[in-house]
Amino acid sequence: MASSCRAILAMCLLAAVLCPALSRPRPFTSLPVDDSRLANGLSYDFHANSCPNLQDIVWPIVESAVLGEIALAAGLLRIFFHDCFPQGCDASLLLKGANSELDLAPNLTLQPRALQLIEDIRVKVHAACGATVSCADIIALATRDAVFVAGESEVFYFYEMPLGRFDSKAPASSSAVFDLPQPSADANTLIDSFKSRNLEPIDLVALSGAHTVGKAHCSSFSDRFTSPRGDAAFVGQLRDNCTSDPNRLQDLDVATPIVFDNTYFKNLMEGKGVFTSDVVLVSDSRTDWGVKGLAENKWWFYSQFRDSLVKLGQFQPTGEDVGEIRRNSCFATNGQSDQEGFAASA
């Protein structure tokens, strides 16, 4: 019976890739929401009048894209994190041109196809509703949907994402971008960095679970070769693989790299973390309990990841100018000429 169910599921997923029209509808069962705990300006029904079909427009585009290329889930998660963490969730990351965040070292390996997908969604949304939805809100919705598609959807909670963000009129400062946690960071640095964004150690652990579908260049974890932690044989394998091909991409979840699940935490418990920033989560008393708990209970991981992602998504820019809704392109402010997209470099 189990094998028959798996075969049917595989056929359904293949059909969804080959024919998006056959893809499953957006699941409407979601967890209860509480507007009273949201940041100022955000609400779960922000676009109820201006774009009532918003989520039904975004869902099939993301589902089709991620089913066709699971790496896009990791790409969208990284874009969401790299946009929100420096100065708040405001799509400042997407701006091209002078002082672009995309030209800075922490963002050079962001996925061009994932960046372009956000703009492709904006085009569809604005065609249906006019320029009423920000690129920042589109990033948030696309990321939420990508996680659902990449996860074990029969057990993964589908949850509402608070909306109402505006798009920045300028990139974040380079100093703010370089505040992004590095793969070589120790536990103190990670915990302090997250605390400055009102995120707790459990949020750090849960959001690190995004690495369950991510990949990394050898150069991003080369510090592991000189200061090995965890499983020495595993570190040696990483080193040998990178020596043979320094340009290779390494799965951050070495067991189930194409499924959004809690196996990443099980790997950490076995000493098989790729980044130093992964491994240190097991060796610090402020985070090790979270790693162990999320490794043992996938339900807790799914719900905690949801809560932590929503919490990160409420980190908003400060100041009197709330921003704008970019009308012509997610890659340019309304005062700039439209910028070339990323399709050619994808």
Q: Do residues 168 and 90 touch, judged by C-beta distance below 8 A?
A: yes
Burial of 2 (0-12, 13-18, 19+ CB in 10 A): exposed
- Phi then psi for 112, rounded to 5 degrees? -60, -40
Q: Do residues 215 and 252 touch, judged by C-beta distance below 8 A?
A: yes
Give, in order, the Cα–Cα distances in Å from 128 to each of 22, 58, 62, 75, 125: 22, 11, 17, 26, 5
Q: Based on the residue annotation, tell me whether 82 is a catalytic residue of this protein.
A: yes
Rounded to an integer, what distance in angstroms lies between the CA atom of residue 314 and that of residue 84?
Answer: 9
Among 51, 111, 28, CA closest to 77: 111
Residue labelled with tokens 């967890």: 31
Q: Which residues are catalytic?
A: 82
